Amino acid sequence: MSTQTHDIWNAPPGIWSIQTFIEKIPKVELHLHIEGSLEPELMFTLAERNNIKIPYSSVEDVRAAYQFTDLQSFLDVYYLGMSVLLHEQDFYDLTMAYFTKVAAENVKHVELFFDPQGHTARGVKFDVVINGISKAMKMAETTLGVTSYLIMSFLRHLSEEDAFATLAESVTHRDKIIGVGLDSSEVGNPPEKFQRVFAEAKKLGMRLVAHAGEEGPPEYIFQALDLLTVERIDHGVRSIENDDLIARLVENKVCLTVCPLSNEKLKVFPQMKDHPMKRILDRGICANINSDDPAYFGGYMNANYLSASRALGMTPKHLVLLTHHAIEGCFLPREGKDKLIALLTDFLTKQRLVPQSDVLEGLN
């Protein structure tokens, strides 16, 4: 076998395939709603198992309902899908199905969201939800080699008092939860609405993230940073509209967890070619790619990488930066991050690829 190395940054198409590169590069996912990984097939299985009636007669009917026009039309279907999740085994099956898929896509670490309020409001106990998810997380690490952390999200269309009640329920499961987040309908529910509950979560030692700047304006990102004191911004794509915000994100190395297929599906941008992902990276922002709600938006990690890369003309340099940013933006301790960086470096070495020095600056 030849030991010749290839400079992928300038290589002709015959030397490397962008799809193969994406499939093989180790990845980290930081923006995944576990309820949003409920595939139609599993929805039907759980509905039958739990004797739940859903307004669809076939898998094809479910997929036809996935023609969203905005965030709210998606959420209507999303919450309906939740109705089939009742028992600990349901949450375990849901979570293991997700991990099985992403392990095959070479995802090595995941920080996943769950929405306890969407379940407790239906009479499903908090313990049932988190125990099923956390058992699957442990099994995924043991059997699939995928590590993970769990983030509890507050539903922003509900009151802060409701969020406080959920935070109180979570205390006995503190060992299973790395942090808190904020999701659901953004417009009309600014981050400032949840300032007190985020302050309380911070006192409990939880890491803080929040959805902001998806459908909401750049001002919501400022609020998330200033009032909620978050460490990461989920989505954050509208930061590209404000130069002062861009400068702040770059200076403070704030990570944006961007979800290209989700943004396209929900019409945040008309088409993928209009997405600012490449411009965000080129401005020096620590952004990465994620799948958000992959069962609803048409793809897991590899599909998001591939769609954005092809539409925006992103280079291998961008793809390596995306993974590096995800590693640096995750909540693993330094030792864990260094192990992932070693995997990334080993991948490039085994592919006999010559990276530009500025791409992997700071990598071990």
> Does 2 fall in a domain?
no
Q: Is the pLDDT of residue 172 over 50?
A: yes
Residue 112: per-residue pLDDT: 98
Contact 113, 32 (CB under 8 A): yes
Q: Is the pLDDT of residue 362 over 60?
A: no
> Does 362 fall in a domain?
no
Q: What is the pTM of this model?
A: 0.92
Residues recognised as catalytic = 214
Give the chain's domain count: 1
Cα–Cα separations (whole angstroms), residue 269 to 32, 43, 122, 236, 304: 20, 29, 34, 13, 15
Beta strand extents in 70-146 (DSSP E only): 107-114
> Does 359 fall in a domain?
no
pLDDT in tens, 234-272: 999 999 999 999 999 999 999 999 999 999 999 999 999
> Does 11 fall in a domain?
no
> Does 7 fall in a domain?
no
Q: What is the CATH number of the domain that holds 167?
A: 3.20.20.140
Domain membership of residue 235 as a residue range = 18-350
pLDDT in tens, 55-69: 888 888 888 888 777
> Does 5 fall in a domain?
no
Contact 291, 300 (CB under 8 A): yes
> Does 238 fall in a domain?
yes
Nearest CA among 363, 364, 306 for reference residue 24: 306
Residue 103: per-residue pLDDT: 98
